[in-house]
Structure formats: C-alpha cells, structure tokens
Amino acid sequence: MTFKTKVLLIILLIGLISKPIYADSLESIELTGESAILINSNTGQILFSKNSELPLYPASTTKILTAIIAIEDLNLEDIVTIDSESPYAGGSHIALEVGEQLTVKDLIYGLMIASANDSAEALARFHSGTIESFAKVMNERAASMGAVNSNFENPHGLHHDDHVTTAYDLAQISAYAMKNETFRNIVKTLRYEIPPTNKKDETRYLNSTNSMFFGIPGSNISIAVDGKQVPTSYDFATGIKRGYTDMARSCFVGSATFDESRTYISVVLKTEGHLMYEDTRKMFDYAENYTKTVVLAEPGSKVDQIVINTQKETLITGLAASRISIDLPLDLDENLIEKKIIWQPNLQLPIQENEIIGIVEYYLNAQLLLKTNLVSDAFYSGENLINEATTHLPHKSPTWVQYGIKLLIALLLWRFIMTFINLKKIKYKKKNAI
C-alpha cells in the first residue's frame, strides 16, 4: 500500500463535516486573531471557526509540515552533511556550519524546539536536493492531509508573497502529524541537547519556544481568560509550534489533551504577541468546560446489518471502523442524534473482512454532524456460504415443490401405517382361527 493510499484511507475512515454544529456560545468570545480554528484532533470535528479558510502567512508554523515529512521519509539516525547554503537561511538558527555533520534527529529537534531556519533548509535539501523540489513535496503531502488551500514555497515560513495557508489547513496538517508518536514526543520536549560535532566542540542546548509549557520564557506572563488573569503556562498543553514574521505577525498552533478521547488542536493566525496564547486558551477552556465527548460507537462494534440477495441470502454485519465520537454542548441530549445508513450500491460476494461496505451518517435537527465508513465483520466467500449469519434470516414461504414433497412423505407414511395395521389384523385372524 502506497503512502498516498494510506493517507486517503485515514481521511475516509473518519470524515467529519467541516462546519461547526454549535458555535454561537464560543463566537460570543472575542478573539484577537484574524483567523482561528479549534478541532478535536482524534475526530477532526470543528468546534469553532473564525475566518478559518482565509489565506494568510503562516510564519514558522510551516515547520510542522517540514517536520512530519522528515520524520516519515528519513531515517532519524542518518548523518546529514550541511550544504553550502543552509547556514545562511537567516532568522532563528542553531549556528550550523558548512560541512558540519549532524543526525536527521538533531536537525528535526533544532527545527521544532529552537525554530531553526538553517535546520529547515538542511533537512529540505537532504530530502529533495533543492528547496524548490522540497516545496513540491510539501504541497503534495499537505493536500493528501486535507490541506487543499495552501501553497508552500519554503520549509521554514520566512516571508514569501506566495507562501500562504489557512487555519483550517494547518489544523489538518497538525492533526495528521500528532498521530505520529515521534512527532508528539518532539513537540512536547522542553529542552534538548545536540552533542559536539565535527565542527563544534561544545554541546548545543536547545529550549522550547512554546510559552504554554511551564518553565519556558514567557510562561509566567499573565493573560486574560474568562475575566481572570492566568499564567500563559497551561496544564494540558502538549505542543505544537509558534511563529512570527513582520507580515504574518504572531501565529500559534497549539494542542491540549484532557484525556484519551479529548485531544484538541487550535490555530491562531495574525495576532500580536501573547494574545495568540490568550486566544488559544479561550478555545481550549471552552472545549474543556463547556463540551462533552459522546461515543456513538466503539471500534469494531456492530452498527447495522444488510442482507445480500444472492443464491443463498447472506446477512452481512457492518462494524465501526474506528471509534465514532462527537463533542456536544454539555446541556445537549445526545438521544436527539439520528443515524442513517447508506450501503455501498450493488454489494456482491465475496466480501473481504474489513472491506468498506457502507457509510453511517449522524444528524442533529436534520444537520449532518459526521459520517464515517462501515466495514465488514468477516470474510464472506460466495453464493453457497452457510454460517451463523445465514441461520437467522427471516423465514420464507414454502414453494409448491416443497408442498409436493411434504404430501408425498405424508402419503408414504400413511401407507406404511395402513400396511402395518392390515398385517396385524391378518395375524390376529389366523391366530383365532386355530
């Protein structure tokens, strides 16, 4: 299975509607960012959106895409010899030197922890040969992740007039990246050490630039949330990346995890300074305090069944391909949610186990909330299949042939009984005659 096929399958398995089902209460909260979005990272559900499809400059949040491409495509222990151009990328850096040798892993940590632009270019050239070639990979990969309104021109986000994305696209890229354990571990790292290299005698000490982590510069600055002054640091923060350029202004992609099923990603674009954290915290507080996650189906659980009308009717069970859940306001009754099944047209045997056989849609007040695939519970081999499922089919009325067979059996039985009776009578008469 190719990379693109795997990605498309992931996108198909859980496909939530890209429109908030309830946003009025959150929209009443004033956010300073020109564009913002809040999604459930596990399901992709949008809880809040403000100009989320407006093309804007992403600054260093670009590096989220660069990092996940490097993690997926490169060996983390491979040695990269720094080329003649990357050390001069400009902006934030880790002082790479021409000819210096570092591992891919060290460069990715430099990219995401220290926001190093020289690391970004070194990784891009090691991956694709040139910045231009790597940008093509970035655009192709971003589109496969669901980011279809972006155009990336470089791996770091330094200003380029045509280097734009949207809050929605960044959320899709980040949700995809956060499914990768290596990526998750990197973006929650507070400090990292790059050991001495062939060009550096001393260890490089890297510190995270994410002020939502305790102990990081700026984490003790107060921000206004829900009428209160609270520190920027946040108990539930798990990443991801901030950015700034003169044109993009302050940008931030954040993540927060409350429990296994409640993991969220926020994006704030084009605001000022610590206001990006203020906007982020408002969205996370809304998700934590005013919503609940309702599980509609567990992975592998029965959702519905369908009879395939072949020579031997076969009952096929459709299972949830993965957990189906949705975030709702606390006071909303989940029993109001309605389910609709759409089976694949012209289903025929054989059907493979885990084959997609339909879609389940969930509605609230006639508005589509989410839809996801149903998969077959087992392998069904062909027309004459007889298994437990086929024994539970509705009873069919007998045909005239079946009636004829039953009548013949009854006649034979009646003749046998009458013959037996006659033989008994004859035997009795003979006995009495003696």
Distance, CA of 291 to CA of 81 (rounded, Å): 49
Q: How big is the chain, counted in residues?
A: 434
List 244's β-bridge partners, or say none: 250
Question: What is the token pair recorded at 274?
Answer: 């610590």
- CB count within 10 Å of CB 19 equals 12
Nearest to 4, CA basis, from 142, 123, 108: 142
Q: Alpha-carbon torsion 77, 83, 89, 94, what sign?
A: positive
Q: Report the pLDDT value the prediction gives residue 430, as an integer from 0 to 100.
A: 64
Query: ∠ at Cα 330 (254, 339), nearest 5°?
Result: 95
Alpha helix locations (H) across 145-211?
167-177, 181-187
Distance, CA of 208 to CA of 277 (rounded, Å): 15
Which long-range contacts does 220-228 make (Cβ < 8 Å, 24+ apart)? 221/274, 223/274, 223/275, 223/277, 223/278, 223/281, 224/278, 225/278, 225/281, 225/282, 225/285, 226/282, 226/285
Distance, CA of 209 to CA of 5 (rounded, Å): 35
Q: Report the pLDDT value the prediction gives residue 371, as an integer from 0 to 100.
A: 85
Q: Report the pLDDT value the prediction gives residue 393, as an integer from 0 to 100.
A: 47
Q: Report the pLDDT value the prediction gives residue 149, as an integer from 0 to 100.
A: 96
Nearest to 254, CA basis, from 236, 231, 271, 272: 236
Which long-range contacts does 233-236 make (Cβ < 8 Å, 24+ apart)? 234/281, 234/284, 236/284, 236/288
pTM of the model: 0.79
**pLDDT values of the chain reduced to their tens digit, one per residue, 434 residues:** 343 333 333 333 444 444 555 544 555 568 999 999 999 998 888 999 999 999 999 999 999 999 999 999 999 999 999 999 999 999 999 999 999 999 999 999 999 999 999 999 999 999 999 999 999 999 999 999 999 999 999 999 999 999 999 999 999 999 999 999 999 999 999 999 999 999 999 999 999 999 999 999 999 999 998 889 999 999 999 999 999 999 999 999 999 999 877 999 999 999 999 999 999 999 999 999 989 989 888 888 999 998 886 666 788 999 998 888 899 988 888 889 999 999 999 888 889 999 999 999 989 888 888 888 999 999 988 654 444 544 444 555 566 667 778 777 877 887 778 887 777 777 766 666 65
Distance, CA of 138 to CA of 292 (rounded, Å): 35
Distance, CA of 232 to CA of 213 (rounded, Å): 8
Q: At what angle do helices 104-113 and 63-73 cross, to 10 degrees?
A: 160
Question: What is the token pair recorded at 404?
Answer: 């004829």
- CB count within 10 Å of CB 174 equals 28
Secondary structure (3-state) at 100: coil
Distance, CA of 191 to CA of 195 (rounded, Å): 13
Superfamily of domain 298-392: D-Ala-D-Ala carboxypeptidase, C-terminal domain (2.60.410.10)
List 293's β-bridge partners, or say none: 327
Give domain limits for the chain: 3-292, 298-392
Nearest to 134, CA basis, from 64, 62, 69, 58: 69
Distance, CA of 55 to CA of 359 (rounded, Å): 32
In CATH, the number for domain 3-292 is: 3.40.710.10
Q: Report the pLDDT value the prediction gives residue 234, as an integer from 0 to 100.
A: 96
